[in-house]
Structure 1
Amino acid sequence: MYRRVSIRMRKHFVSVLVLCVGMIASFSARAAADPSKGKTLFQQNCASCHNVHKKLTGPALAGVEERWVDKKLLHQWIHNSASVLASGDAYANALFNEYNKTPMTQFPALSDGDIDDILAYIGKEATAVAAGPATPAAGGATTGTAEEEGGNGLLFGIITLILAVVALILMQINSNLNKLAADKEGIATPEPVPFYKNKAYIALAILLLFIVGGYFTINGAIGLGRQKDYMPEQPIFYSHKVHAGINQINCLYCHAGAEKSKHAMIPSENICMNCHKVINEYSGPTLYTAEGKKVNGTAEIQKLYDHVGWDVTAKEYTKPGKPIEWTRIHNLPDHVYFNHSQHVVAGKQQCQTCHGAITEMDEVHQFAELSMGWCVNCHRTTKVQFADNKYYSIFEKFHEQVKNHEIDSVTVEMVGGTECQKCHY
């Protein structure tokens, strides 16, 4: 009888373990798509033509997965839109005609996982807008963004830990039942070793601690010196959202060096005074710091006047000026060469590629990692202006392949954009 009970318990134990593994696999699949990674990829590859909520060069991307009958077809469209059009797909051809037969840029270098990450970001953004704006914290600043991004990972970790504890308890129960059945049949068996004295369990725990500790140690070492999300307090509260977003001031008006020089340059006070000789009061939407503290826009304009020595009443400079000590946010190591003009003029890169949604930021923070891996991945997917470009005339092989339709575009990587000496010399 006890043998039958033991066999049944073993079967039940195995079933529970299989269920646990299945649940872990299920949660792993759900957590596979990474919206935060997708946001970076979206800014690098999609933002110049698409917006999640409104039409630009291409359609708004909210609900894009529902508009395609097959997700694989959507992947194929992103990899090679010409092949989908050639297949006669009705929706693809209607989309092509709607946008004046402008071909969709092809991204063969993006993996299916990268595309899923982008789609996860689009879905998250669309859901956030559909749910309405978040409840503002004190002063109107919204909270919870970081928690939402890390919530799935935390939930997955907690569930995995719970399932591991359940599996451990079931293993101990199984061992005790085997001992009970053996004793009933007169079979001498040693006392089961408590789990906290079991060498196998101890070794497993040490191995897990070593793996987890090593993972966090390596990640921490990789992140040394990086400043992602760095947002220092500046001497004057300057809102890019108000200037570049609401008032549509072109980035190059203030950062003229971005298309002419290696450095984008912090604009001089004279640039600010071109407008603020006339605009001496702030009348835009209420401003808040990242901590939710209300900002007096007019008082911030007065700080500018104090630095440059401008008298509002006399409408002239009445005292010597002093420089505004802005805190630099984006800073690359000294051994890295980066040229703004090369990327803005030759590469046709948008500011948002590296700086994120700058037109929506009141206080600027570092959006991208600006790490070597981040730059290399961008070079692997970004296409150069290859056709009718004399600078690339020496690449006869690629010209021939484009002519023969063997490739449809040339990436920065293909013309040496990932070679060490391009950035380190």
Structure 2
Amino acid sequence: MSIKRSLTSVPLKLSTLLMLFFLMLGTQVFAANPEVSDSEEAIAAGKSIFNANCKTCHKLDQKSVGPALRGVTDRRSIDWTKKFIRNSQALIASGDAQAVAIYNEFNQLVMPNHEFLSDDDLMNLLAYVEYGDKADAAVASAGGEGSVAAGGAGIPSEYLTIILAVLVIVLLLILIVLGLIISILTKYLKTQPLDEADQEFINQKSDFKKVFRSDAFVIIITALVVALVVKTALDELYTIGVQQGYAPKQPIAFSHQLHAGQYEIPCQYCHTGVEIGKSANIPSANICMNCHMHIQNVGGKDGISPEIAKIYAAVDENKPIEWVRVHNLPDLSYFNHAQHVAVGGVECQTCHGPIEEMEVVYQHSTLTMGWCIDCHRQTSIRTEGNEYYDKLVQLHSGSKNALKVKDIGGLECAKCHY
């Protein structure tokens, strides 16, 4: 007996669907150039170069300010690609047809020269372009090992409020239950044959003045008042130096949602000190102009928006932009960005929250001592491929638990207070 199968009943793999999609578009899919290394070391090195120099204008698999880069070594020769990356304007000026076509296709935007990149740097960059960008999986696993739990400082105010509310509710329920029991017993006793003294006791009216003057009532009210005062005092103590939610108005309406979110500009591009020093650095107007001297902004005088005009004015007048600081630790605390970002591999969002979603930047975390200590207690050390921790891992090898920050002195007072 023959069995007919419908086309829709045939299971299609994702790779098959992708192949059909590209065939429908008339696009050929090629394997990456075999001259390009696919080693993890080359891809990692290339990613750093890409993030520092290319990510502002390029994406791997879709057009952005510039063309999509994936498969560039199949569409172009490696030598041509290197020349274009190092000095695209020289290649365009020479009349190279491919370079001129790209230049015209993308509104004649000028790509900065990268002559400082060595051949090894360029090959690592191409390795990342062809084989890299599996960052989505890394972001999805951010909640696993090495992630930071958002600890708080002491007992949160919300918990104290809940505790007090529960105590008041329990007290009221007890009073209601006691009132119901007394009412039921009184009605029952009135139906029973009692002597004259008992009848007089049951029929007596409640004297609320005596209740209010009783020791029990005074103790209960005093306890509630003391609890309320203590809660208020603790709330005020815990808010000293805490600026969570602080979002000051800045001199220029800079949108992190647009720059870090939509355009995926890495934090390190503007905050240049985050991987090399204690402070992350506030970007100068010159860093802004690296992009805005090539990007036309619609609106305002001469096609420049009023906010962008402020950057031009700061550059022309050689005056710094007076940004208002959002995150400000007390002077008695020492925090080093390079230690956390470059060595510890901590993501910016761990402390600063979803910065790529903020139209106006605000302080996301409490940044209190308790918050930092909770982080050090719960964060596992990322030791893989990091020689900085080799000896510490060897010393910790006898323990069954993962090596955490607290195990390498993360709870020592002198680490933060020196």
Q: Into which bin does the TM-score normalised by the smaller protein fall?
A: 0.5 to 0.7
Alignment deviations for residues 318-346 of structure 1 (CA, whole Å, 9 cap, x no partner): xx232211110000010101000000010
Q: Which residue pairs with 2:363 in the alignment? A: 366
| Distance in structure 1 (CA, Å) of the matches to 2:382 and 2:308 | 42
Q: Which residue pairs with 1:57 in the alignment? A: 137
Cα offset, 1:353, TM superposition: 0.3
> Bigger CA drift: 335-344 or 213-222?
213-222
Does 2:403 match 1:410?
Answer: yes
Within 5 Å, give how 1:390-405 maps onto structure 2.
390-395=387-392, 398-401=395-398
* Seq. identity, %: 36
1:381/1:162 CA distance change after superposition, 3 Å: closer
Tell me if the contact between 2:271 and 2:282 (Cα under 8 Å) persists in the aligned partners. Answer: yes
Cα offset, 1:164, TM superposition: 4.4
| Distance in structure 2 (CA, Å) of the matches to 1:257 and 1:419 | 26
Alignment deviations for residues 96-132 of structure 1 (CA, whole Å, 9 cap, x no partner): xxxxxxxx6388x98xxx99xxxxxxxxxxxxxxxxx
Cα offset, 1:300, TM superposition: 1.4
Q: Which residue pairs with 1:237 in the alignment? A: 253
Cα offset, 1:177, TM superposition: 5.5
| Distance in structure 2 (CA, Å) of the matches to 1:158 and 1:389 | 50
| Distance in structure 2 (CA, Å) of the matches to 1:248 and 1:297 | 22
1:387/1:364 CA distance change after superposition, 3 Å: closer
Does 2:332 match 1:335?
Answer: yes
Look up the equivalent residue of 1:236 and give its one-letter code: I
| Distance in structure 1 (CA, Å) of the matches to 2:258 and 2:364 | 18
Cα offset, 1:387, TM superposition: 5.6
Tell me if the contact between 2:383 and 2:389 (Cα under 8 Å) persists in the aligned partners. Answer: yes
Of the three residues 301, 304, 307, the one matched with 2:314 is 307
Tell me if the contact between 2:146 and 2:381 (Cα under 8 Å) persists in the aligned partners. Answer: no
| Distance in structure 2 (CA, Å) of the matches to 1:59 and 1:321 | 40
Cα offset, 1:363, TM superposition: 0.2
Of the three residues 350, 355, 364, the one matched with 2:352 is 355
1:199/1:335 CA distance change after superposition, 3 Å: same
Backbone CA RMSD of aligned residues: 3.8
| Distance in structure 1 (CA, Å) of the matches to 2:338 and 2:248 | 26
Does 2:338 match 1:324?
Answer: no
Cα offset, 1:158, TM superposition: 7.1
Alignment deviations for residues 241-286 of structure 1 (CA, whole Å, 9 cap, x no partner): 1001101111110001000110001000100111112324159xxx
Q: Which residue pairs with 1:11 in the alignment? A: none
1:161/1:321 CA distance change after superposition, 3 Å: same
1:332/1:60 CA distance change after superposition, 3 Å: closer
Within 5 Å, give how 1:22-33 maps onto structure 2.
none
Q: Which residue pairs with 2:305 in the alignment? A: 298
Q: Which residue pairs with 1:420 in the alignment? A: 413
User: Which runs of 5 or more residues in structure 2 are unaligned?
Assistant: 1-134, 152-157
Tell me if the contact between 1:240 and 1:363 (Cα under 8 Å) persists in the aligned partners. Answer: yes
Within 5 Å, give how 1:198-213 maps onto structure 2.
198-213=214-229
Tell me if the contact between 2:145 and 2:380 (Cα under 8 Å) persists in the aligned partners. Answer: no
Look up the equivalent residue of 1:370 and give its one-letter code: L
SS in 1 for 2:137: coil
Tell me if the contact between 1:280 and 1:298 (Cα under 8 Å) persists in the aligned partners. Answer: no
Q: Which residue pairs with 2:262 in the alignment? A: 246
Cα offset, 1:205, TM superposition: 2.2
> Bigger CA drift: 262-271 or 164-173?
164-173
Does 2:382 match 1:385?
Answer: yes
Within 5 Å, give how 1:3-402 maps onto structure 2.
56-57=136-137, 105=145, 164-175=171-182, 178=185, 185=194, 186=196, 187=198, 188-189=200-201, 192-194=206-208, 195-281=211-297, 298-309=305-316, 320-386=317-383, 389-395=386-392, 398-401=395-398
| Distance in structure 2 (CA, Å) of the matches to 1:376 and 1:255 | 25
Look up the equivalent residue of 2:363 and give its one-letter code: Q
SS in 2 for 1:230: coil
Look up the equivalent residue of 1:369 and give its one-letter code: T
| Distance in structure 1 (CA, Å) of the matches to 2:160 and 2:291 | 47
TM-score by length of 2: 0.55
Cα offset, 1:389, TM superposition: 5.0
Tell me if the contact between 2:256 and 2:360 (Cα under 8 Å) persists in the aligned partners. Answer: yes
Tell me if the contact between 1:241 and 1:360 (Cα under 8 Å) persists in the aligned partners. Answer: yes
| Distance in structure 2 (CA, Å) of the matches to 1:238 and 1:414 | 40
Cα offset, 1:378, TM superposition: 0.7
Look up the equivalent residue of 1:238 and give its one-letter code: F
The total of aligned residue pairs comes to 267
Look up the equivalent residue of 2:310 and give its one-letter code: K
Cα offset, 1:165, TM superposition: 3.6
